[in-house]
């Protein structure tokens, strides 16, 4: 099938894009990498009257390191992030996760802002925003505002973005020195959407855990932090018993999806298994390996 007829705009600045979106907010869609929107348009699952293409806005593609954070323009390609020395040094969990996203052509066209705005339940980048305590900057007619990951993701393919707002930047705090991390994912084939994925970041000394972040992809309607599992590690440390209890708490905390790919019961089982596996993998990592 082919998409329905639409009117096409290709602004060259954020201000121009915001103005266009403000004028056509109820009938417009933003085009970033197009890896999700264009197939949906071809199958007529999405039928915008107006398409606003962001690909000519050069000011939205960048990676900028600051003293305590890394700022990434929304139109930065996932492939650019995958090969960025800055990302590898300051955000090694993100660097390790990027190769799991689809296939090379997907990452070559897909953007970080497009993936976060689309908020597919199985997407890895929303999980990264959760696990790394990231935030997004969105701009609209009333100016720019920042949203933490916990406030940005609402439900499957639903975010806190207003119909007249554009996601313009993603900000991650640098991972602390000595952090240990891991990501575990289960999919039917390499490059397929995740049926379940878990990302873990731990900061501590030995079995003592001072900070824990555990986030999901694929198992619920959108990525979530597994707070009960994190709290178990903070209170009891990373002992064998506490790790098993944290994995159990993770499995019990979710409301798992059930679809043609996997039942809710299987996703709950995967959450338990992958959480324990990711925690143990993170603990096996030597902190000295991080920069």
pLDDT in tens, 98-145: 999 999 999 999 999 999 999 999 999 999 999 999 999 999 999 999
129 sits in which H/E element: helix 124-131
3-class secondary-structure state, position 42: helix
Residue 201 pLDDT > 60: yes
Higher pLDDT, 6 or 286: 6
pLDDT in tens, 15-68: 999 999 999 988 999 999 998 898 999 889 889 999 999 999 999 999 999 999
The answer regarding whether domain 180-285 maps to CATH 3.40.50.2000 reads no
Q: Which band of pLDDT confidence, cut at 50, 70 and 90, is reported for residue 291?
A: very low
pLDDT in tens, 135-146: 999 999 999 999
Is-contact 116 211, C-beta < 8 A? no
Q: What share of the chain is helix, strand, coil (3-state, %, to 5)?
A: 40, 25, 35
* CATH 3.30.390.50 domain extents, the chain: 180-285
CATH classification for the domain delimited by 7-52, as one of 3.30.930.10, 3.40.50.300, 2.70.70.10, 3.30.43.10: 3.30.43.10
| Residue 240 buriedness (CB in 10 A; 0-12 / 13-18 / 19+) | exposed
Burial 38-58 (b: 16+ CB within 10 A, else e): eebbeeeeeebebbbbbbebe
* Prediction pTM value: 0.95
Is-contact 28 50, C-beta < 8 A? yes
Specify the fold of 60-173. Answer: 3.30.465
Is-contact 60 167, C-beta < 8 A? no
Residue 1 pLDDT > 80: no
pLDDT of residue 2: 85
pLDDT of residue 30: 96
What is the average pLDDT value for the chain, to the nearest integer? 95
* CATH 3.30.43.10 domain extents, the chain: 7-52
* CATH 3.30.465.10 domain extents, the chain: 60-173
């Amino acid at each position: 099938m082919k998409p329905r007829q639409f009117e096409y705009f290709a602004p060259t600045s954020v201000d121009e894009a915001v103005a266009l979106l403000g004028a056509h907010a109820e009938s417009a869609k933003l085009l970033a990498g197009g890896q999700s929107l264009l197939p949906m348009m071809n199958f007529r699952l999405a039928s915008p009257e107006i398409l606003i293409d962001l690909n000519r806005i050069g000011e939205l593609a960048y990676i900028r390191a600051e003293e305590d954070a890394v700022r990434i323009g929304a139109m930065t390609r996932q492939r650019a992030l995958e090969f960025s020395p800055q990302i590898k040094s300051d955000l090694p969990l993100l660097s390790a996760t990027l190769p799991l996203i689809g296939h090379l052509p997907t990452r070559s066209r897909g953007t970080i802002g497009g993936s976060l705005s689309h908020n597919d339940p199985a997407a890895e980048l929303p999980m990264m925003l959760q696990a790394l305590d990231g935030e997004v900057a969105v701009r609209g007619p009333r100016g720019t505002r920042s949203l933490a990951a916990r406030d940005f993701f609402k439900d499957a393919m639903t975010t806190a973005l207003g119909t007249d707002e554009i996601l313009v930047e993603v900000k991650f705090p640098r991972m602390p020195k000595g952090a240990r991390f891991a990501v575990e994912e289960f999919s039917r084939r390499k490059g397929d959407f995740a049926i379940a994925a878990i990302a873990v970041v731990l900061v501590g000394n030995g079995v003592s855990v001072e900070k824990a972040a555990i986030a999901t992809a694929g198992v619920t309607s959108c990525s979530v932090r597994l707070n009960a599992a994190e709290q178990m590690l903070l209170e009891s440390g990373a002992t064998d018993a506490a790790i098993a209890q944290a994995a159990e708490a993770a499995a019990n905390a979710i409301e798992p999806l059930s679809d043609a790919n996997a039942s809710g019961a299987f996703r709950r089982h995967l959450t338990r298994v992958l959480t324990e596996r990711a925690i143990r993998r993170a603990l096996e990592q030597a902190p000295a390996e991080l920069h």
